[in-house]
Amino acid sequence: MKNYFFYISILFLFLFSSCASKKKFVYLQGSQDFSNVSTNYDPIIQNDDLLSIVVATQEVDAAAPFNLPNYLVDNEGKIDFPVIGTIQVSGYSTKELKSMLKQKLAAHLIDPVINIKILNFKVTVLGDVANPGVKSFINHRVTLFDAIGASGDLTVFAKRYNILIVRDIQGLKTFNRVDITKADFVNSPFYYMDQNDMVYVEQRKAKIDASALPNLPIYASIFSLLLTVTLLVTK
């Protein structure tokens, strides 16, 4: 009887330990030289963005008319800028807009310094995360992991290898799948979030392979049944 009990115990432990694969949970697996990952990310301005544009120069009074509280990008991607007039800004990066404004202001100001910030930078995270919703950030260099972290991380049932990112590229919605279990994801164009990205995390269809803990009662019942049968047979 002891032998039967031993073999059943081994079977139970095998089922318990093999029901969840480590590869389905761990982020950024595999070989990757993270020292070469680019951090030079510059967000693209979109329609309906709220911009802060601060113009500074040695002539404080001369720069004052350009420093409005904020600039709202209209549905045609334009803003009304003092003195200069209507400017197309949608589709430009903040760095590109800064360069363009510096050129336009050269006729009015001496060596202007311009700082641009998107005030309503947000990412929507839905699906199998602990705390879904719209996540706002004051920093523009937001990674997918930042968005996931702001959502309380993925649940044990989330498909880490098939996350959907819906991105607006010049007015066109694109649907993109990423695998964050792979180390080379850091080189993906979707590693950094764009303004108004939508992240959808799908749930596994078979929860049984997602985590051993939620299925502990099931395996305990199987073990109990097998042990009972064994004891009856060996009497």
Query: Which tens digit of pLDDT belongs to each residue from 45-62?
Result: 999 999 999 999 998 999
pLDDT, greater one: 117 or 234: 117
Q: Which residue has the tokens 């301005």?
A: 45
**Amino acid present at 91:** G
Per-residue confidence (pLDDT) for residue 210, from 0 to 100: 44
Per-residue confidence (pLDDT) for residue 170, from 0 to 100: 75
**227 DSSP 8-state letter:** H
Structural class in CATH, domain 22-42+121-209: alpha beta
**Closest alpha carbon to 143 in 33, 29, 45, 37:** 37
Query: Which tens digit of pLDDT belongs to each residue from 129-157?
Result: 999 999 999 988 899 999 999 999 999 99
Q: Is the pLDDT of residue 19 over 70?
A: no
Same fold, 22-42+121-209 and 50-118: no
CA 29 vs CA 34, 120, 160: distances in Å: 12, 33, 12
Beta bridge partners of 173: 168
Per-residue confidence (pLDDT) for residue 29, from 0 to 100: 85
Tell me: domain 50-118, CATH 3.30.565.10, correct? no
Could you tell me the two tokens for 125? Answer: 């995270």
**110 DSSP 8-state letter:** S
Per-residue confidence (pLDDT) for residue 57, from 0 to 100: 93
**Amino acid present at 17:** S
User: Which residues are within 8 A (CB) of 164 and not within 5 positions of it... i.e. 6 or more apart?
Assistant: 175, 176, 177, 199, 200, 201, 202
Query: Which tens digit of pLDDT belongs to each residue from 91-127?
Result: 999 999 999 999 999 999 999 999 999 999 999 999 9
Question: Residue 9 — very low, low, confident or very high, per pLDDT cuts 50/70/90?
Answer: low
User: Which residues are within 8 A (CB) of 25 and not within 5 positions of it... i.e. 6 or more apart?
Assistant: 156, 160, 181
User: Which residues are within 8 A (CB) of 193 and not within 5 positions of it... i.e. 6 or more apart?
Assistant: 123, 142, 143, 144, 146, 147, 199
Q: What is the 3-state secondary structure (H, E, C) of 132-157?
A: CEEEECCCCCCEHHHHHHHCCCECCC
Question: Residue 225 — very low, low, confident or very high, per pLDDT cuts 50/70/90?
Answer: low
**Closest alpha carbon to 120 in 140, 148, 94, 106:** 140
Per-residue confidence (pLDDT) for residue 26, from 0 to 100: 85
- Where in the chain are the domains? 2-19+212-233, 22-42+121-209, 50-118
Q: In angstroms, how far apart are the furthest CA atoms of the chain?
A: 101
**What is the rounded average pLDDT of the residues 80-88?**
95
Question: What's the predicted TM-score (pTM) here?
Answer: 0.72
